[in-house]
Amino acid sequence: MARRKIVAGNWKMNKTPSQAVELVKELIPLVKSDDVDVLFCVPAIDIVPVVEATKGTNIMVGAENMYFEDAGAYTGEISADMLVDAGVKFVILGHSERREYFHETDEELNKKVKKAFEKGLTPVLCCGETLAQRESGVTLDHIRMQIKSDLNGVSANDVASMVIAYEPIWAIGTGKTATTAQAEEVCKAIRETIAEIYDEKTAEEVRIQYGGSVNAANAAELFAQEDIDGGLVGGASLKADFGKIVNYK
């Protein structure tokens, strides 16, 4: 089956609300596409103005994180209900920066994935290995463990509708990119893991992105691979070049 490509920008901790609207206005004409789903995942404070600024366009808006409780004494956190009410469609979960700097565990991410689905949000679940893990030859084992842990108890129907993003940690923001063969190898292994946990149909439907220094020069080759269904783009999503990544053909 032909899976529709999805190209997502992860803005990370960049752009004030006014700067965000300015960037969106610049990117709207550049990211028009009938063939690719386009997603801007923006800081929480930018969500409302970006949702407003993208109305009537092909751009969908996502969040960069959320908590797994509905409400309560969780100072500084944001709930799925808050995101839905603000117009968010997707949410990035388990980005390596969240895992590393904020010590998010697979157990917590499993709760977040389930909560996102419960509230009608589509998770963009990230996984990836460190340079030491790659050099030790445990990349695929580590990725499989992350996927199995984070999706424990999640239904096949939900998994088929989600997005999984493979991001080698050593390639995020470093300018280094996994070779096309390396990226495809891991994305294929993720799909095989989904087939092992669920079934071939679910594995064929789930969309798997590559992330890690994706840019206008390497997007076409990466996205042409059988198991790579688009990209989760960091720094390049904050520039006009993001349009070239979306319209990679």
> What residues are annotated to the active site?
95, 167
Tokens found for residue 186: 């891991």
The answer to whether the Cα torsion of 111, 160, 37, 117 is positive or negative is negative
Which residue bears the tokens 């969240």? 98
Whether the Cβ atoms of residue 66 and residue 91 lie closer than 8 Å to each other: yes
Say which DSSP state 121 is in.
P
**Computed over its alpha carbons, how large is the radius of gyration of the chain?**
17
Structure tokens at 199: 């079934």
Residue bearing tokens 């300018």:
175
Provide the token pair at 17: 């609300």
Contact assessment for residue 222 and residue 214, using Cβ atoms and an 8 Å cutoff:
yes
